[in-house]
Structures are given as C-alpha cells and as structure tokens.
Amino acid sequence: MPPNPILICARSDALRTQLETALSAAGYQWATVPTPADAVAALRSRPADLVVAEGLAASGAIGSMRTASESGTTPVLVVAPARDVEARIAFLEAGADDVIASGFAHSELEGRVMALLIRAGKVRTDENGGSAAGQLVAFFSPKGGVGTTTLAVNSAVLLAGGGTPIRQGAAGSGNGALPASRVLLIDLDLQFGQVATHLNVAPRFDIGGLATDDQAMADPELARSHLTMHSSGLAVLAAPTSPEADQRVTLDALQRIIETLQPSFDQIIVDLGSRLDSRSLWILEQADSHIFVLFPEIASLRATSQLIAYLSETTPLRAHTHLIVNHIFPKALLKTRDIENLLRAKPTAEVPYTEVEMIRSVNEGVPLVMTHPTSPAAAAMRRVAQAIIGVEVERSATARKAQRRGIFGRRR
Ligand SMILES: Nc1ncnc2c1ncn2[C@@H]1O[C@H](COP(=O)(O)OP(=O)(O)O)[C@@H](O)[C@H]1O
Ligand SMILES: [Mg+2]
C-alpha cells in the first residue's frame, strides 16, 4: 500500500513533532511546512491527500489550502486549542473538514485522519485487498450474539463515509455528507435479522420481496428501488420482517440479486448471521473478505476453528479472512495470547467491552461510530473497515523506509 501523503502545516515545534510522530506511527508519509502560504505553495507543486494544520496559524487560509491543488479539493483537519468550543466552530465555519483538540491521543488523530481520507475517497489500498467495484464482504460468526450485526453495521457505515458527525451549516460543507464509497449492506440473517433496527430505518421493501420479483432481480434500477437509504449514505437491503419469508430467498434468487446489484456498489457487506446453509456458503465462497466475529470464550474460539477447518476442506475460497475478537462481556477471561494460541492466528482487531454506549446505540438505532467516533470501540471498528479495503493497519515497513530515506518525511 502506498501510504497517503499528508501535509502538516504547523509553526509550533511541539505540535509539529507530535503530528509527525503520530502520523509516522500510523504509517503515513508526511511533509511539514511552517506557514499556510508555504502549504498552498507546496500543494500546488505536489498534491497531498490531506492537510493537518495548526488552527490559530491557519484560520484565515483554510479555504486557500483546500483549493490550492489543481487535482481537486484537499481536506483540511485543523488542530484547535483544547476546550475552546468557539474556536472549533470558527474553524468549521472557515471551511475546515474536521477539527481535533490539541492534546489529542494518537488513536483519535488516526481515526479522524482515516475518516477524512475515506470520506474524500483517498484511501489507498494494497494490491491484494483492493477496493475493486463490487467487493463482497461476508460477516459471519458460528455463534450468535457475539456482535456480528453490530460490527457489520458499523463497518458499513464507516465505509459509506458516515463515521464522523457531519458538521452542520459550515461554509463549504456541501459535500461533507457524501458517501466516500457506494456501500450496500445486505441483511442475510433471514429469520430475525436486525440491521434495520441497528440503523433505525423503516424499510418499505426487503430481500424477501426482491427475491420474488423476477423483473427487479434482472434490472439494476428496479433492484435498487428495493433498497433503503441510511443517512450515512449506506444502502440497505433489509431482512424480511417475517421468518417464513426465509424460504423465498432461494440460492438462485440470491445469486441473481448479487449479480444485478454488484456493479452499482464499491462494497457489498453481507451480514450472514450464524447459520451455514447453501446461501451463506455461496456468499462465503464468493466473498473477497471474511470477517469472522468471535468472543473470548473457549466455545466461541473452538467453533471458529471448526468453521475455518470446514471451509478450507469443503469450499474453494478466495477471501482474506479476518478474525475479530469482540469483548461483549466486561471481564476478559482469556488473554490475547491465549486466543492467538487457540486460533493459531492473530486477530485483526479486538473490540473492547463498551457497556452502555453500545446497547444505547443499538436501542436508538445510531451506530457507535457515529455517536462515539473517538471511543476505543469505534477505533477498533475502523480497523475492521480498514482491513476490508486492504489498508495496512500497522505502521507499514514502506513508510518507515521512506521516512528514513527522507522521500516525503523531511521537514522543509
Ligand atoms: N463490544 C461490545 N461491548 C458490549 N456489548 C456489545 C459489544 N458488541 C456487541 N454488543 C452487544 O451484544 C449484543 C449482540 O450483538 P449483535 O450484533 O446483535 O450480535 P449477533 O449479530 O452476533 O447476534 C447487542 O446487544 C450488542 O449491543
Ligand atoms: Mg446478528
């Protein structure tokens, strides 16, 4: 993955060092300039994917930095003085795409940077993972109740660009709410799927209806009329409201639905729930990525191992498999090391136990990545979304080397 080049614009040495360290640790290439005028000049000669600017020095020049590059708008993340709400609002009104308070944690900076890059469609992917059109992503857990739907919904919202609160009424905010990629979330937990509940949408149509509409299954536009739009830009194909409709979604119908809708989306996320049948097996077989959710308990780990063994023996797979450990209980009875030993694999992300916020976000139908975008659980969910599009989560060797060689990581 070529890491995204980021331009730091900061006069203060302390902030400059802090940003450089945090961005390096997250695997980004960066260059640093002291003033907004330098930033504009730098962006004209060499575009960056994002500007991170010291707010007080840059407030009058945010607009010029956003539009300096000839190759399109560059999002600007402004660092504002901590606890200064008025300054924060002023920066947003001056055109900043997002604001972070000074004294930020690395994870918060990383999260906001990634959200802006995803929203601007500037996330670079690796050669293998790729975010090719119609990428199919299967969320599955051999045990129910471990957070499969929660993670599928939050990842899908992030990929659709809805992971941070969209600022209201700020100058130049016109495209702030536009989805970064076209994402469809299919609820294939056909008996009692709750994706619509997690998103607080009231679908007029669902997959049960689409699966019996021959014309719509053959016509992308008609098929799209069976989808429900979420405020994040995410499209949803809801589960049937009655469990008996399960039977209507035959394997043949599912294949036709995917084939017809796939070209309209960059990613199709499928919540398969916890049942293996001909339909979920077909999705697993076709998927570019598998996200297997488990919780740190021996039975869940064993079931996951059995699943992986079964799939590798029976199904021709092409997917990247990611294991996500979700702490749905407060006490961690197994250590990460034990989990890795039992699974003989390293989980891609661990989602920490999030007591009230998680339940509340489900009850209210607003995904956690929108209500608490800077929480540790949202950060872990971002790692899941990053893994889906093939972004390296850990600091890349390329970035380290590039920095040592000073390709992009030199101060000017
Ligand atoms: N990290 C977490 N911390 C606390 N509660 C969680 C966490 N992840 C999920 N939950 C809760 O666990 C319950 C089951 O989640 P759900 O996504 O419906 O699981 P599944 O789809 O696997 O059946 C929900 O009430 C959800 O709020
Ligand atoms: Mg579920």
Which CATH number belongs to the domain containing residue 86 in this structure?
A: 3.40.50.2300
**Probe target for ligand 1 pocket from 141, 143, 150, with the most ligand atoms within 8 Å of CB:** 150
Spans of the chain, pLDDT less than 50: 1-2, 125-131, 165-179, 393-412
Check: CB of residue 108 under 8 Å from CB of residue 21.
no
Q: What's the rounded Cα separation, in Å, for the pair 162 and 178?
A: 8
Question: How much of the chain is helix, strand and coil, in % rounded to 5?
Answer: 45, 15, 40
Q: How many domains does the chain have?
A: 2
Going from the Cα of 202 to the center of ligand 1, the distance in angstroms, rounded, reads 21
| Residue 192 resides in a domain | yes
Nearest-CA residue for ligand 1 atom 17 is 147
Question: Does 2 sit in the ligand 1 pocket, CB within 6 Å?
Answer: no
Measured from the CB, is residue 147 less than 6 Å from ligand 1? yes
Is the dihedral angle over the CA atoms 267, 268, 271, 277 positive or is it negative?
negative
How much is the pLDDT for 117? 79
Note the pLDDT of residue 258: 97
Q: Is residue 412 part of a domain?
A: no
Is the pTM for the entire model greater than 0.75? no
Q: Is 354 in the pocket of ligand 1 (CB under 6 A)?
A: yes
Q: Locate the ligand 1 atom nearest the alpha carbon of residue 377 and give its number.
A: 1
Nearest protein CA to atom 25 of ligand 1, as residue: 359
Asked if residue 191 has its Cβ within 6 Å of ligand 1, the reply is no
- Tell whether 40 and 166 lie within a shared domain: no
Structure tokens at 45: 């000669």
At residue 392, the pLDDT reads 52
Residue with tokens 């660092």: 79
Same-domain check for residues 115 and 140: no
Regarding whether 263 and 379 lie in a shared domain, the answer is: yes
Q: Are residues 218 and 253 in the same domain?
A: yes
What pLDDT was estimated at residue 408? 34
Spatial contact of 308 and 292, defined as CB atoms under 8 Å apart: yes
How many Å lie between the centroid of ligand 2 and the Cα of residue 311? 21
Q: Which domain holds residue 59?
A: 5-120
Q: With a 6 A CB cut-off, is 363 part of the ligand 1 pocket?
A: no
Give domain status of residue 143, yes or no: yes
Residue 265, domain CATH: 3.40.50.300
Give the pLDDT score at 338: 87
Same structural domain for residues 297 and 377?
A: yes
- Ligand 1 in contact with 165 (CB < 6 A)? no
C-beta of 145 in contact with ligand 1 (< 6 A):
yes
Instruction: Mark whether 68 and 182 lie in a shared domain.
Output: no
Residue 127 lies in a domain: no
User: What pLDDT sits at residue 123?
Assistant: 66
Is 150 close to ligand 1, i.e. is its CB under 6 Å away?
A: yes
Same domain, 56 and 147: no
Whether 157 and 86 map to the same domain: the answer is: no
- Structural domain includes residue 223: yes
What pLDDT, on the 0 to 100 scale, is given for residue 164? 54
What's the pLDDT score for residue 166? 34
Instruction: DSSP for 368-411, please give it.
Output: HHHHSTTSHHHHHHHHHHHHHTT---SPPHHHHHHHHHTSS--B
Residue 315 forms part of a structural domain: yes
Residue 62 lies in a domain: yes
The answer on 235 and 274 residing in a single domain is: yes
Q: Do 68 and 150 belong to one domain? A: no
Judge if 323 and 264 occupy the same domain. yes
Query: CB–CB of 20/8 below 8 Å?
Result: yes
**Per-residue pLDDT at 57:** 73
Would 184 be classed as within a structural domain?
Answer: yes
State which ligand 1 atom lies nearest to the alpha carbon of 326: 1
Distance CA 375, CA 371 (A): 9
Q: Which atom of ligand 1 is nearest to the CA of 327?
A: 1
Whether ligand 1 lies within 6 angstroms of the CB of 154 is answered as no
Residues 340, 364: one domain?
yes
Pick the last residue of a domain from 88, 120, 152.
Answer: 120
- Distance, CA of 247 to CA of 346 (rounded, Å): 37
